[in-house]
A and B are shown apart, each in its own frame.
Chain A
Amino acid sequence: MWKASAIAGLVAAAIVFPLIVTVNYFLHLAILALIFVMVAQGANIIQGYTGYVSIAQGAFMGIGAYSSALLSMRLGLPVWASMAIAPMITAVAAVIAGYPSLRVKGHYFAIVTLAMNMVVFIVLVNWISLTKGEPGLPSIPSPEPINLGFVELAFEKRRPYYYLTLTALLAVMTIVTLIVRSRIGQVLQAIRQNEVFAEAAGIACWKYKLFAFVFSASLAGLAGALYAHYMGFINPTPFSADASLNAILAVILGGSGTLTGPLVGGALTVLLPEMLRVAEVYRLIAYGLILILVVIFLPRGLVPALADLAARLRGNKSKRGAA
């Protein structure tokens, strides 16, 4: 009951937000935060629930962004269609990347995925006939307007696009919640706890790991497509390994293996550097310091720490784990 009302409150606040806050810059940040929360939620599936740290989310975001942009520009597909196809293309790329790399564990897996991210980045920069390289792809179309009868949603405006990303995020959150609560989610957590034991219990772990990897990649692909058609311009820079590292930070910061953690963490990784905009260089140093402090003093992440605090304040020290 308490939880349901909290979720309803959060959704209501997200819906009302652009009506109250009319400063374009804040709305812009909010859209970017929503998009990045989606990437973080994807990272959470493979990293938080399955226990495999993938440093390739940025690359998958890039694959999604470029395939959606190119489908709509080169093939002239409707933007809605290309935004729907882009996550599938990303998923195919993730199957190709994940099938071999998931055979290794731990740091090896992290480093292989990091190398894959750099490979994708180099290809984006060097395959100039397709991607136009470093200068990037300009004038990517916005999604076609939708006429709802009483109002027309023109997606080149910020407010309608905000609602588009919010809808997409709500859909993603619903699917993720269903997956996590299902048998698949149980198996993924079993793999995180003890893969050998799960295997011995008769589970074909590789299928589940591949599923988690591909699913998390397609979320990043969808986020990339939303990013491309929002910005109207993309170049390889936002899809470097830095983006993947940010996704990992988002998961850790918010609380890995929790459903709400990536919401907080993803939003913070977009907003924190902006809020610390005292001086361009110092803010990144401060950002680094905050990260280190969080990991040392709040190793489970912000959301579980706050949940513990709330539970203690309400006097029931019993349950409320990292659910």
Chain B
Amino acid sequence: MIIDFLQQIFNGLVVGSIYTLIALGLTTIFGILGIAHFAHGSVAMFGGYLAFFLISTLGLGLLPSFILAMLCGALLGVVLERVAYYPVRNAPPINSFIIALGLTLIIEKTNLLAFGVDQVIIPTPFNRVFSVGGVTMPELRIYVLLTAAVLVGGMTLLIQRTWIGKAVRAVAQNRPTAALMGINVNSVSMFVFALSSALGVAAGVLIGALFAVAPGVSEGLVVKGFAVLILGGLGSIPGAIVGGMVLGVTEAFAAAFISSGYKDVISFLLMIAVLLVRPEGLMRGKAR
């Protein structure tokens, strides 16, 4: 029983770490621009497909493909911000949401056109399975968890410790004042989109290696991302980390002990419950 319990916690943390990656991008974009970037899931799936293409067709190694896909993702993010979101930056928020829906359609169908309708699994050489005190830990899952941890750590350092990170936080706090202090708000927006999309692509690649990249995955993924934001509080990085883990573990428990068909229902109900009891998220103090 206790082993089952630990096993599900491990599984949940692995999946949760991917949710965290998705949510980090969403939360930063939301914090800076107030945009619910619904197309983020499709961007992630694009990354998964791209990595698969680089590995299987061009024969690149796993790590170079991963990095190259993230760079392409960053570029895509900048293009999205410039072409689609920038023109509506002063319009009501619903407009940017519609833009996001349009983008979702475009990216989703471009994925179909470019990579076909079949689901693909990114091949990895990690087939060993470890057993720690009865808990099964496939090597691949450990690497997924580690990769996610490194990326989340890197992102946190970037935001907390560097000059550009400080600029991002300043814009998130107060956009007009940040602009008055000489921060180029436009380049901060582009930077945030590049960073977030790169993280989204990373999540897509991890999903592709762990499960599969397929058409139709992205919608559920982006809603999970938003669920994490709600659990953790919009615009909060520690919130996204905790929220991702909570969501992943809840889902794993729901799938193992209640019903795998209804696991998403249970995680959404959790999100709705949190929203009603603590609308500011699990992590944020009552102050604001």
Contacts and interface: CB of A to CB of B under 8 A. Distances in A.
A39 interface: no
A221 to B, nearest CB: 21
A151 to B, nearest CB: 44
A106 B34 CA distance: 11
B36 A110 contact: yes
B95 A295 contact: yes
Interface stretch (A14-22, A171-179, A245-253): A245-253
Contact of B88 (A103, A108, A296): A296
Interface in B61-99: 84, 87-88, 91-95, 97-99
Contacts of B268: 115-116, 118-119
Contacts of A290: 102
Interface of A: 47, 53, 100-101, 103-104, 106-108, 110-112, 114-116, 118-119, 122-123, 125-126, 241, 245, 248-249, 252, 256, 281-282, 284-285, 287-292, 295-296, 299
Contacts, number: 120
A107 B234 contact: yes
Contacts of B272: 100-101, 112, 115-116
A111 B226 contact: yes
B109 A107 contact: no
Nearest to B117: A281
B223 A288 contact: no
A289 B94 contact: no
B113 interface: yes
B105 interface: yes
A110 B92 CA distance: 14
Contacts of B99: 291-292, 295-296
Majority secondary structure, B binding face: helix
Interface of B: 30, 36, 84, 87-88, 91-95, 97-99, 101-106, 108-110, 112-113, 219-220, 223, 226-227, 229-230, 234, 261-262, 264-265, 268-269, 271-272, 275-276, 279
Nearest to B222: A114
Nearest to A128: B261
Given A110-B97, A296-B88, A122 B265 contact: yes
Contacts of B110: 285
A249 B105 CA distance: 12
B88 A119 contact: no
A108 B230 CA distance: 8
Given A100-B276, A104-B279, A288-B102, 10 more contacts: A101-B272, A107-B30, A118-B223, A119-B264, A252-B98, A284-B109, A291-B98, A292-B103, A292-B106, A295-B99
